[in-house]
Amino acid sequence: MCGIVAYLGDKEAYPILVNGLKRLEYRGYDSAGVALLHEDKLTIYKCQGKVSDLEAHVGDGPTTGTVGIGHTRWATHGPPNDVNAHPHQSTSGDLALIHNGIIENYASLKEELVHRGHTFLSDTDTEVLVHLIDDIQRSEKVDLAEAVRLALNSVVGAYAIVVLDRKDPDVMVAARKSSPLVIGIGDGEHFAASDATPIVEHTKNVVYLEDGEIAVIDRKKGLKIRNTKNQDKTPFIQELEMHLETLEKGGYDHFMLKEIHEQPRSIRDSMRGRLNLAKGEVVLGGIKDYEQRFVNAKRILIVGCGTSWHAGMVGEYLFEEFARIPVEVEYASEFRYRNPVVGEDDLVIAISQSGETADTMAAMELAKNKGATIIGICNVVGSSIARITHAGSYTHAGPEIGVASTKAFTAQVTLLTLMALMVGQKKGVLSGSSFYRLLNELDAIPDKVQRVLKTEDQIKYIADIYKDASNALYLGRGYSFPVALEGALKLKEISYIHAEGYPAAEMKHGPIALIDEAMPVFVIATKGASYEKVVSNIQEVKARKGKIIAIVTEGDTVVKGIADHVIEIPETPDALVPLLSVVPLQLISYHIAVMRGCNVDQPRNLAKSVTVE
Ligand code: G6P
């Protein structure tokens, strides 16, 4: 949560910062601000609202300066308003600071600093940092970098920060612990940002800061890295593989719609080089050394949050069916606080699009400390989660910018399918012919998703009918139960309609009481193991005048005769249905939200990367 961006070079900083903030807005968008340094003059603009509100607030005001920092906020401490927006300034007015994370011991630090004469203006935890650094700079008579280092030694919590000092306009200091920070190295210029998206259009050379590292960027001396223990570190420069066009809307009205439509490609990319039909094998390079751990695993634990947790539930069904390994899927936030039974015999799969979700990270660390093997499934290359796992596989879905996750889900499920098939084959659970048949079916999925996308006009028609609903129910059984949960999550996230996902048969133990003619019920009723049972559930809804929108297998006639609307998807084995059936549900939510006038890419109160617990 919160996006930070900074620049020091020979260009005007303001347009670079504003552009960078727009790229980072998915991380939070309740207020925004910039600080610009020109000679010894520090100019700060900040206000409640989005980056576009900040631009309007700046208007024709002065924006000169080749050094600057920018921030887009997702409020934790203190409401979103102008005063709580970053950057925050020291009482002297010399220092300006931006922060992503939470300072847990801010209350005690604040008390001490107030006692020492610092005036606090905001309700934020962040403000203690800028006063603390300023205080140390003055009392210890040290430069900015050393003051930052000393200050961070007394701070408990998570942070990515960048600090400017009016007294030294050629230096910018950045540091991180548990919140991401990337340094970009250009020609005579440097960048710092929460992720690489604001940097990629300027340079491909980046350094991902490690926890406890401080980057000192000096106009003349370039980049130096040390840690909070004052040890020098050699920057490890990596080349970005990100392409600029993946960060643009590419002609679509919203990133979410673009990302839904990208799924044939993103699923294909997630399989590329891994699923080899000619050789009849699955090779996952990132976990090759851990294959035997999978094969011998007594139990698999899957942790994640939100949509990634739903993907994990599909993973549970996959691993249990194909590899006969018992699986437990845990909300990372619950797992970490309930003294879970986990140890050396366990294999933990952590799933995260962003690779930065605080709860997922904490759950992994807990399991790792208890001796479990940690495997990651992440989308963002170089992210914190990817770096603390023992091994893992990237999803290769490309940057996902819409806050509601779509293509990341199908890419995660694709990888879980590949893993489960690979382990099932190696364990001898899957016969050669079943394995090969499933590989072929998986290989055909991207083309089938393309076919599902062709139902969009019909989906728009259905969306128009149900756009004013106040509640919705999503039902599915077996592999379709997690998809029902995901469909409900998509609708509530972006259209603010209350929606619940339920196992279809459980409906009669509660939700059936809610059904009346105003209740749209989305049912995944594809041909397969529980088809007849789901048809009975549909009858139960119809008997109570509920409206049925069913996702069915192409050519289905039975459900067509009962349901109010059907959306057909191509036939595929039960295990692969989630990769197809989720797509119409994503589209329904998208079109309903657009018709209700909601901000689809930036739904209220949400953020894409949840770096606080
Ligand atoms: C937030 C996002 C969701 C996402 C969840 C987990 O709630 O809005 O779309 O599924 O975090 O994020 P992760 O990056 O760990 O997959």
Domain ranges of the chain: 3-245, 249-443, 452-598
Angle CA(175)–CA(7)–CA(250) in degrees, nearest 5? 110
pLDDT confidence tier of residue 577, bands split at 50, 70 and 90: very high
Residue 452 structure tokens: 């599902």
Ligand 1 centre to CA of 348 (Å) is 18
The pLDDT score that the predictor gives to residue 397 is 94
pLDDT confidence tier of residue 383, bands split at 50, 70 and 90: confident
- Asked if 2 is an active-site residue, the reply is yes
In this structure, of 43-47, 152-156, 375-379, 600-604, the range with the lowest mean pLDDT score is: 600-604
Q: What does the alpha-carbon distance between residue 185 and residue 318 come to, in Å, rounded to a whole number?
A: 43
According to DSSP H, which parts of 472-576 are helical?
Answer: 480-495, 531-543, 558-562
521 Rama sector, left if φ>0, alpha if ψ -120 to 50, beta otherwise: beta
The pLDDT score that the predictor gives to residue 246 is 82
DSSP per-residue codes, 104-149: TTHHHHHHHHHHTTPPP-SS-STHHHHHHHHHHHHHHT--HHHHHH
Architecture of domain 249-443: 3-Layer(aba) Sandwich (3.40)
Pick 452-598's CATH classification: 3.40.50.300, 3.40.50.10490, 3.20.20.70, 3.30.470.20. Answer: 3.40.50.10490
Give yes or no for residue 352 CB within 6 A of ligand 1. Answer: yes
pLDDT confidence tier of residue 160, bands split at 50, 70 and 90: very high
Q: What does the alpha-carbon distance between residue 144 and residue 74 come to, in Å, rounded to a whole number?
A: 27
Note the pLDDT tens digit of each residue in 216-246. Answer: 999 999 999 999 999 999 999 999 888 888 8
Give yes or no for residue 373 CB within 6 A of ligand 1. Answer: no
Ligand 1 centre to CA of 554 (Å) is 32
Give yes or no for residue 194 CB within 6 A of ligand 1. Answer: no
Q: For residue 609, is pLDDT > 80?
A: no
Please state, for a pLDDT cut of 90, what percent of the chain lies above it: 86
Mean pLDDT of 410-427: 97
Which of 352, 353, 378 should be mutated for ligand 1, with most atoms under 8 A from CB?
Answer: 353
Mean pLDDT of 503-525: 89
- Confirm whether 3-245 and 452-598 share one CATH topology: no
Residue of minimum CA distance from atom 2 in ligand 1: 608
Ligand 1 centre to CA of 352 (Å) is 7
Of ligand 1's atoms, which has the minimum distance to the CA of residue 408? 16
- Asked if 598 is an active-site residue, the reply is no
Give yes or no for residue 611 CB within 6 A of ligand 1. Answer: no
Give yes or no for residue 403 CB within 6 A of ligand 1. Answer: yes
CA 151 to chain centre: 30
The whole-chain average pLDDT of the chain stands at 94
22, 177, 490, 608: which is the annotated catalytic residue? 608
Give yes or no for residue 83 CB within 6 A of ligand 1. Answer: no
Mean pLDDT of 18-43: 94
Give yes or no for residue 354 CB within 6 A of ligand 1. Answer: yes
Of ligand 1's atoms, which has the minimum distance to the CA of residue 403? 8
Of ligand 1's atoms, which has the minimum distance to the CA of residue 360? 15
Residue of minimum CA distance from atom 5 in ligand 1: 306
CA distances from 608 to 75, 259, 349, 379, 604 (A): 14, 14, 21, 13, 11
Q: For residue 430, is pLDDT > 80?
A: yes
Q: For residue 507, is pLDDT > 90?
A: no
Give yes or no for residue 608 CB within 6 A of ligand 1. Answer: yes
Give yes or no for residue 414 CB within 6 A of ligand 1. Answer: no
Q: At what angle do helices 144-153 and 127-140 cross, to 10 degrees?
A: 120
Question: Which CATH number applies to 3-245?
Answer: 3.60.20.10
Number of alpha carbons in the 13 Å side-chain half-sphere of residue 169: 18
pLDDT confidence tier of residue 72, bands split at 50, 70 and 90: very high
Residues 6+ apart with CB under 8 A from 169: 37, 38, 39, 40, 67
Mean pLDDT of 101-107: 92
AA letter at 243:
H
Which of 42, 94, 110 lies closest to 118 in space, CA to CA?
Answer: 110
Ligand 1 centre to CA of 9 (Å) is 34
Q: What does the alpha-carbon distance between residue 372 and residue 466 come to, in Å, rounded to a whole number?
A: 46
Q: What does the alpha-carbon distance between residue 285 and residue 129 come to, in Å, rounded to a whole number?
A: 43
CA 306 to chain centre: 9
Q: Cα-Cα-Cα-Cα dihedral of 236, 237, 239, 245, to 10°?
A: 110
Give yes or no for residue 577 CB within 6 A of ligand 1. Answer: no
**Quick check: bond before 87 cis, omega within 30?**
yes
Whether residue 21 contacts residue 32, with contact meaning beta carbons closer than 8 Å, is answered with yes
Cα R_g (the chain), whole angstroms: 25
Ligand 1 centre to CA of 275 (Å) is 27
Which of 305, 329, 613 should be mutated for ligand 1, with most atoms under 8 A from CB?
Answer: 305
510 Rama sector, left if φ>0, alpha if ψ -120 to 50, beta otherwise: left
Which of 421, 345, 350, 427 lies closest to 390 in space, CA to CA?
Answer: 350
Which of 331, 335, 354 should be mutated for ligand 1, with most atoms under 8 A from CB?
Answer: 354
Ligand 1 centre to CA of 483 (Å) is 16
Mean pLDDT of 328-349: 91
Ligand 1 centre to CA of 20 (Å) is 21
Please state, for a pLDDT cut of 70, what percent of the chain lies above it: 100
Mean pLDDT of 270-295: 94
Which of 311, 213, 203, 306 lies closest to 267 in space, CA to CA?
Answer: 311
Note the pLDDT tens digit of each residue in 167-185. Answer: 999 999 999 998 899 999 9
